[in-house]
């Protein structure tokens, strides 16, 4: 996944500017991002503050690590069943 060139703080700042009444087209033009990106950010970060966004990022990285560990465990189980065979 491509890393965003904007931090969570900047993204939340853009969202708060839009909530304050700045037109979205003008905000996107001045920030250098597309309308679609803005609406994607709104769906993901809408209603969050900076600490909430940081916590979300930490949880996503922890979730990715746990998924990787689970996949490795399933591969080990599958390999052991293939070597020793399945009980009849």
- Domain with 41, as residue range(s), is 8-84
**Is residue 41 one of the residues assigned to a domain?**
yes
Domains identified in the chain, total number: 1
pLDDT confidence of residue 38:
95
Question: Would you call 53 helix, strand, or coil by DSSP?
Answer: helix
pLDDT confidence of residue 80:
87
**Is residue 49 one of the residues assigned to a domain?**
yes
SS3 string, the chain, reads CCCCCCCHHHHHHHHHHHHHCCCHHHHHHHHCCCHHHHHHHHHHHCCCCHHHHHHHHHHHHHHHHHHHHHHHHHHHHHHHHHHHCCCC
pTM for the model stands at 0.66
**Is residue 16 one of the residues assigned to a domain?**
yes
- Tell me the average confidence (pLDDT) per consecutive run of 10 residues in the chain, 88 residues long: 82 94 94 95 90 90 97 92 75
pLDDT confidence of residue 12:
93
**Is residue 2 one of the residues assigned to a domain?**
no
Sign of the dihedral defined by the CA atoms of residues 51, 56, 57, 61, in that order: positive
């Amino acid at each position: 996944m491509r890393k965003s060139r904007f931090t969570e703080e900047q993204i939340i700042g853009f969202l708060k500017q839009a909530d304050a009444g700045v037109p979205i087209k003008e905000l996107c033009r001045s920030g250098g991002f597309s309308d679609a990106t803005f609406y994607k950010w709104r769906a993901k970060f809408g209603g969050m503050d900076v600490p909430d966004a940081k916590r979300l990022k930490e949880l996503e990285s922890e979730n990715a690590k746990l998924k990787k560990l689970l996949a490795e465990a399933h591969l080990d189980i599958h390999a052991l069943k293939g070597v020793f065979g399945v009980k009849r």
